[in-house]
Structure 1
Amino acid sequence: MTISQTSPAPEHPGAAADSAVAAILAATVHPAPGAPRGVVVDSPPGAGKSTLVVRAARELVAGGEKLMIVAQTNSQVDDLVGRLAEKGPDLTIGRLHASDGKPAAELSRYANVTAAAKVGDLLEQDVVISTAAKWQWVKTEARWRHAIVDEAYQMRSDALLAVAGLFDRALFVGDPGQLDPFTVVGTDQWAGLSYDPSSSAVVTLLAHNPEIRPHRLPVSWRLPYSAAPLISAAFYPYTPFRSGTGPDDRRLTTGTAPDGSALDAAIDEAAEHGWALLELPARHTVRTDPQAVAATAATVHRLLTRGLTAHSEQGSTPLTADRIAVGTAHRDQAAAVRAALLRLGVPVDGSVGPAVTVDTANRLQGREYDVTVVLHPLSGRPDATAFHLETGRLCVLASRHRHACIVVARAGIPELLDEHPATEPVQLGVTMKFPDGWEANHAVLAQLNEHRVQLR
């Protein structure tokens, strides 16, 4: 008699996510005796980092705790304050800001939010939120028992050292696949040392506390079924994740028929498959390549004029300008795309009403759109520098979308990668980052090549 063996059905994504969150909250709110003082959570793009932070904060406060939250930018702080105020109207929230700065104006509509430049004016609040740059100047006689550090992989270890004396325990939440902390100061003298101030807060924390075992959020609720396998394999090979949606849960439909142009062909390809590569002829160009910039702007303009509709588990909504983003590697490229869009009559960030977001990968981190148009960092370049090959930069650009991503690039990038092998010096004690820029770029290009539309 033959006994057939079948593999167990995969756990439902919602159940897998709930199980992971429950374990994280238990370790944070009810730590076991002798447990490490830090809880680290690795999260892929769109896995619900902010939702986890809000839920952990509410449960800590419900247990009688007051806590501080550290974010990395003022926009992140304002976003968290708004989320907490909406999800926890029973909480009192303090928004600590710089003496010469003000929080976002929309926060004034929340009755449970108090803003102040001095922490002494906020000590009675359940939660106090500010940037790491502001927290490092705070002096208090009593420490907080609990802290939450949001986007912890964007935080440099020297910033963590500056605020670590303010709390006893902390929950660190971040995305290990995104851009590393940035510094303009040379750091070669610290390379390989466990206290390298340019390393991320999490890397240094784990180096000094090997008993900490990071938790992992296993599901991306942002990335569609078409994108999660590629992003997981290319950028998170050791911490794989999956999409929270199935192959038929999200669709893009067009309101008008294609006109036969390459732009419309790329839009239709992206609408059907989630990816499209709009490829220009191979050529070495200046960084603000006029043809690539024009193609990027024209693609966005055509996305809006064709009347697309985004269908998802959240319902069906028209694809408006505020649900589209353009990602670039450099600020001057972003400025060139903005100017090209304005010439086409497309509103861009800063305009009144719904507007297309145009920005660099650094500033698009943590943000989400229905459709993104990406100017490839290596398009038209004569060389492949460490900046343009940084894995996190490509990861951010390729993982902001809920429905589709259209990449604009000149042909010849695979050949460029093969002609420029790694030349960075090998330093003792420095853990090699994997996958490296070559590996990740080749993986992404192999996928995009199946959805290539040539623009002549």
Structure 2
Amino acid sequence: MNVIPSPATEAATVITAVLSDLRSGRDRGVVVDSPPGAGKSTLVVRAAGEVAATGAPLMIVAQTNEQVDDLIERLGVRSPEVGVGRLSAVDYEPSDRVRAHPSCRVAAKVADLGSPAVTIGTAAKWATVTEGTWPQAIVDEAYQMRSDALLRVAPRFERALFVGDPGQLDPFSTVEVDRWIGLSWDPMQSAVAVLLRHNPDLPVHRLPVSWRLPASAAPVVARAFYPFTGFRSGTGPGDRTLAFGKPAEDALDEVLDTAAATGWGLHELPARFTVRTDAEAAAACATLAARALTREGVASSESGTGPLTADRIAIGAAHRDQVAVIRSLLPPEAADVTVDTANRLQGREYDLTVVLHPLSGRRDATAFHLESGRLCVLTSRHRHACVVVARAGIAELLDAHPSTEPVHLGVPVKFPDGWEANQSMLAHLYRS
């Protein structure tokens, strides 16, 4: 009889294989695919510590300043004895997390960092470095990195570990990119996609467990956004609970109760075509977050039991103007609730999330609003429950607007496409 390994054992087996490939030096690159909350940053920090322990200098490439500072904080906790150099802009002001690191130096030039064991900066900053090479590099959130950005930093390292989530947002551009479509080095493809097209024999590992998503969410998100790889939750049914101390008084409270009980809730408004900043939908998002606070929510998990506080709640939307409207409608007691776009919520986690569906109130289903990565980010930030706010009619909108994107020779087909992912998520929400 086959014995199914525990989530911890299964994850440890993959991580051991990743670190073994990294230490062997057989390949110039090692790729690690990760579902939401599978411990990407933990792997990066552990790998950095192992490389530093060998005495070989290491460079780390992240995509945003927030990611850089987060990694520095984690390095300080796990390996405080390892010297870190933070490459930055001339006017960069170190955050509290960077200042808290016991041995971190900040400078705009590599020469001013004092040859630390680990040098870390954004891809944009590393692109300005024209001298020096490192035997080993780690590229964090590599699926967010455009391939041309990798080309600019590749001369700086001999081999690299690429870690990222293939199901989330692809790189984007504000200029026309049609001239490169179909080319194997298309800059609008992710760094990993182009890397593997030109180096198909590189080892690829997949982290099999999400430690963020609860048992109620992992199979739903995996089915919608990771149909060929899959993953499971690190926790089982009943390991996490969310309960409210005050009884429900209206439909909004009932949606919160449903989400607390099943992990998912759908607050559906009447079908209507609206402007992007739909006031009724925005108000519903703000009210749901505020109600979760006033009803004295309590979250229990393997990490302990505590009150549901404003900083553990997030509201996600597709556009910045939607974010601004929702934030303006939050009452004072909910001022610390995070309200942001999918792009900026990437990599973060909360106990409860409220999502304004990208297709809510729309007349058409554009490529932007159908992008599977956007919905994946929005619906995979929570540890306990996710509530989706949407106007009725999305299913009909999807049926009336099948994909009309042109098909180009030489362009890898991405699975799942946004149409399929939206249908999968919507079907589950209606069943909840």
Q: TM-score range by the shorter chain?
A: over 0.9
**Residue 15 of structure 2 is aligned to residue 25 of structure 1:** no
Give the drift of 1:449: 0.3
Give CA-to-partner distance per residue, 1:221-248, whole Å, 9 cap, x none: 0000000001111100111100000001
Determine which of 246, 270, 279 is the counterpart of 1:290. 279
CA distance in structure 1 between the aligned counterparts of 2:100 and 2:414, rounded to whole angstroms: 44
Residue of structure 2 equivalent to 1:3? none
Give yes or no for contact 1:97–1:103 (8 Å, CA) kept in 2.
no
Give CA-to-partner distance per residue, 1:198-226, whole Å, 9 cap, x none: 11100000011011131100000000000
Give the drift of 1:111: 2.2
Residue of structure 1 equivalent to 2:414? 433
Give CA-to-partner distance per residue, 1:3-36, whole Å, 9 cap, x none: xxx5x232111000000000000111223xxx32
**Residue 389 of structure 2 is aligned to residue 399 of structure 1:** no
Residue of structure 2 equivalent to 1:387? 368
Residue of structure 2 equivalent to 1:256? 246
Residue type of the partner of 1:190?
W
Residue of structure 2 equivalent to 1:126? 117
CA distance in structure 2 between the aligned counterparts of 1:372 and 1:100, rounded to whole angstroms: 34
Equivalent runs, 1:368-379 vs 2, <5 Å: 368-379=349-360
Determine which of 217, 226, 229 is the counterpart of 2:219. 229
Give CA-to-partner distance per residue, 1:36-89, whole Å, 9 cap, x none: 200000000000000000000000111121100000000000000111011111
Residue of structure 1 equivalent to 2:291? 302
Give yes or no for contact 2:290–2:334 (8 Å, CA) kept in 1.
no
What is the aligned-residue identity percentage?
Answer: 62
Equivalent runs, 1:29-428 vs 2, <5 Å: 29-31=23-25, 35-140=26-131, 142-259=132-249, 261-341=250-330, 344-348=331-335, 355-428=336-409
* Structure 1 runs not aligned, ≥5 long: 1-5, 349-354, 452-456
Give yes or no for contact 2:289–2:334 (8 Å, CA) kept in 1.
no
Give yes or no for contact 1:95–1:103 (8 Å, CA) kept in 2.
no
CA distance in structure 1 between the aligned counterparts of 2:209 and 2:96, rounded to whole angstroms: 33
Structure 1 residues 91 and 170, CA gap change in structure 2 (3 angstroms): same
SS at match of 2:159: strand
SS at match of 1:128: strand
Structure 1 residues 308 and 347, CA gap change in structure 2 (3 angstroms): closer
Per the normalisation by structure 2, the TM-score is 0.99
SS at match of 2:332: coil
CA distance in structure 1 between the aligned counterparts of 2:178 and 2:431, rounded to whole angstroms: 41
Residue type of the partner of 1:45?
P
Per the normalisation by structure 1, the TM-score is 0.93
CA distance in structure 1 between the aligned counterparts of 2:184 and 2:350, rounded to whole angstroms: 37
Give the drift of 1:123: 4.4
Residue type of the partner of 1:69?
I
Give yes or no for contact 2:58–2:137 (8 Å, CA) kept in 1.
yes
SS at match of 1:168: strand
CA distance in structure 2 between the aligned counterparts of 1:379 and 1:445, rounded to whole angstroms: 12
CA distance in structure 1 between the aligned counterparts of 2:90 and 2:129, rounded to whole angstroms: 12
CA distance in structure 1 between the aligned counterparts of 2:231 and 2:95, rounded to whole angstroms: 34
Two-structure CA RMSD over aligned residues (Å) = 1.0
Give yes or no for contact 1:67–1:146 (8 Å, CA) kept in 2.
yes
CA distance in structure 2 between the aligned counterparts of 1:160 and 1:346, rounded to whole angstroms: 44
CA distance in structure 1 between the aligned counterparts of 2:321 and 2:271, rounded to whole angstroms: 21
SS at match of 1:206: helix
Residue type of the partner of 2:230?
P
CA distance in structure 1 between the aligned counterparts of 2:304 and 2:408, rounded to whole angstroms: 51
Residue type of the partner of 1:312?
S
